[in-house]
Amino acid sequence: MKKSLMLSSALAAVIGCAAINTASAAPSADEMKKMEKCYGIAKAGQNDCAGNSHACAGMSTKDMDKGEWKAVKKGTCEKMNGSLMAPKA
């Protein structure tokens, strides 16, 4: 009985993780045409793509890091105190 419960719990965890990853997928190429990269507005773990010293979305480690970006609707970045330009290295 315990083994069955453990297997059920593990399966539920895997399915839950897959659902989270699907829900937080990056915007498609067509959606990105209506968006702009906005640097310095992403909260920790909420960046949209590679940045600083990592190669994946959701890996930023601090809020409002100027080297991290998030896709936002065109014309809204500067209203959020973000920058359309990546910081100089």
Query: Percent of the chain, pLDDT > 70?
Result: 70
In a domain, 35, yes or no: yes
Place of tokens 């809204």: 76
Domain assignment of residue 13, yes or no? no
Range of the domain at 64: 27-80
Q: Summarize pLDDT for 35-44 with one digit per residue, the tens.
A: 999 999 999 9
Q: Identify whether 65 is part of a domain.
A: yes
User: What digits encode the pLDDT tens for the residues 71-85?
Assistant: 999 999 999 999 999
Coil, strand, or helix at residue 71?
strand
Number of domains comprising the chain: 1
pTM of the entire predicted model? 0.62
- pLDDT tens per residue, range 50-69: 877 788 888 888 999 999 99
Tell me, yes or no, whether 4 lies in a domain.
no
* 5 assigned to some structural domain: no
Amino acid identity of residue 54, one-letter, is H
